[in-house]
Amino acid sequence: MYKISMVSLGCPKNQVDAEMMLSSLKNGGYEIAAEEAEADAIIINTCGFIEDAKKEAIENILEAARYKKTGKCRALIVTGCLAERYRDDVTEEIPEVDVCVGIGSNGRICDIVKNAIEGKKQNCYGEKYELDLNADRILGGYPFSTYLKVADGCDNCCTYCAIPKIRGRMRSRRIEDCVAEAKILAERGVKELIVVAQDTTAYGEDIYGKSMLPELLRELCKVEGLHWIRTLYTYPDRITDELLDTVASEEKIVKYFDIPIQHVNGEILKRMNRTGDYNTLSALIDKIRAKIPDVTIRTTLITGFPGETEEQFSELARFVKEKRFERLGCFTYSAEEGTVAAEFSDQIDEQTKVDRMENIMEQQLTVAAEKNEEKIGSVTEVLIEGWDDYIKCYFGRTPADAPDVDGKIFFMADRPLVLGDFVKVQINDCIDYDLLGELI
Ligand code: SF4
């Protein structure tokens, strides 16, 4: 049978799509090639929601295209958000690409690949809702930590965001389907389950008429074998008392909130088609910290949104200084064609966007280092992820660290340890975003 290779880019939700396609390909008799050079077909599962992501996707596509000359590759297939968003433009503008597959056709990947290898190259775009959210997966990444995608699409329609156009309206999975998958994942050895969607706090609104995230989390806590349950991509307006109480009261739920607020100036938020302002967001952060004292709050900000004045930016910088987020990411505004904000006449120049982003991240590095200093001498639980042969110690994450976006903890141990186990570590030092410690 044919060998395939898959490269998946972008966010955890896209990674889950890739894992589903890998599973159906494996069940379809394909072999997963160890090396891209051996593959008869290479699939690049792309991200495509902002400029940088598109560049990365094109780099990976051109990189893989080399194997059509140097390797066994007879079909280069592009799936994911870039494919869904740009469709035939992908094959027209990148002739190395043989087939472009929209997200609604992921379920037909077996036939698409076979046809492409055998020379029948046809782009495929099923309806977005055809994407099966309950399909089986072959897990990438660590076998003990993975994502649970509970919905796809988004109804919030922020003016700068292309995702609703790419992924469509929000479609939630039923609670029982999510719990059933969680049980399978736990039986397969998953101990940390990370709940994701474009807006996890909106989970269930489309099929149950109200947010069902608290209910879902409580059900997931009943799944044996899961040790940590983490939620990413919550929406500030939908952080309810019920959600706070659920997170505070359930031991398995890590005290971690990922709340992209994007900005704090009321006028800017309005133009983003978001609500709130400095005071409402400040009150929200204070409320979460009052309910869950040892909580870790991560946020994401955008600098250089059209029309952003020096005063409005200073307001944002002041908020970051005052609120001292445990974790923070900041991106420059990217004018995405087809979005409302890209049509705004008062676009900001690139250098100003970058200067403002760097200003925020400089501040945040200080805050993060100070917050890490405060942890020295304390003991934390750690999920062991690996061994660093260069510095000869183990590394892992604390409950305060989400994969890929947050820091790590590096620690010495006086005995061999098992990856995927949870241990207690005394924190002795820190370097920027990372912690150093020793096993106790
Ligand atoms: S909530 Fe997130 S995914 Fe949805 S439109 Fe806004 S930025 Fe995009």
Cβ atoms of 406 and 298 within 8 Å: the answer is yes
Angle at 133 between CA 228 and CA 250, to 5 degrees: 20
> What is the phi/psi pair of residue 194, to 5°?
-110, 110
Give the CA distances from residue 200 to residues 13, 48, 246, 381, 402, in Å, rounded to whole numbers and listed in that order: 11, 21, 15, 26, 15
Q: What is the CA radius of gyration of the chain?
A: 22
Mutate which of 198, 232, 237 for ligand 1 pocket (most atoms within 8 A of beta carbon): 198
- How far is ligand 1, taken at its centre, from the CA of residue 159, in Å? 9
Residue nearest to atom 6 of ligand 1 (CA): 158
As given in the structure block, the two tokens for residue 319 are: 């908020």
Ligand 1 atom nearest to CA at 233: 2
Mutate which of 14, 47, 85, 154 for ligand 1 pocket (most atoms within 8 A of beta carbon): 154
87-123 pLDDT, tens digit per residue, is 999 999 999 999 999 999 999 999 999 999 999 999 9
- How far is ligand 1, taken at its centre, from the CA of residue 161, in Å? 6
d(CA 53, CA 267): 28
Mutate which of 158, 160, 211 for ligand 1 pocket (most atoms within 8 A of beta carbon): 158
Helix and strand totals (H; E) in the chain: 15, 18
- How far is ligand 1, taken at its centre, from the CA of residue 235, in Å? 9
d(CA 407, CA 419): 18
Q: Tell me the mean pLDDT per 10 residues along the chain, length 440.
A: 95 97 97 94 96 95 95 96 97 96 97 96 94 95 97 97 97 98 98 98 98 98 98 98 98 98 98 98 98 97 98 98 98 96 98 98 96 98 97 97 97 97 98 95
d(CA 374, CA 435): 11
Q: What is the pLDDT of residue 246?
A: 98
- How far is ligand 1, taken at its centre, from the CA of residue 90, in Å? 24
Q: What is the pLDDT of residue 1?
A: 82
- How far is ligand 1, taken at its centre, from the CA of residue 298, in Å? 16
Cβ atoms of 305 and 271 within 8 Å: the answer is yes
- How far is ligand 1, taken at its centre, from the CA of residue 181, in Å? 25
Q: What is the pLDDT of residue 432?
A: 86
Ligand 1 atom nearest to CA at 162: 8
Cβ atoms of 163 and 116 within 8 Å: the answer is no
List, chain by chain if needed, residues with CB within 6 Å of any ligand 1 atom. Answer: 154, 156-158, 161, 163-164, 198-199, 235
Cβ atoms of 280 and 239 within 8 Å: the answer is no
Cβ atoms of 222 and 176 within 8 Å: the answer is no
Residue nearest to atom 2 of ligand 1 (CA): 198
Residue nearest to atom 8 of ligand 1 (CA): 161
Closest by alpha carbon to 177, among 134, 217, 138? Answer: 134
d(CA 239, CA 199): 11
d(CA 272, CA 314): 18
Under 8 Å CB-to-CB from 191, ≥6 apart: which residues?
A: 144, 145, 225, 226, 227, 228, 383, 420, 422
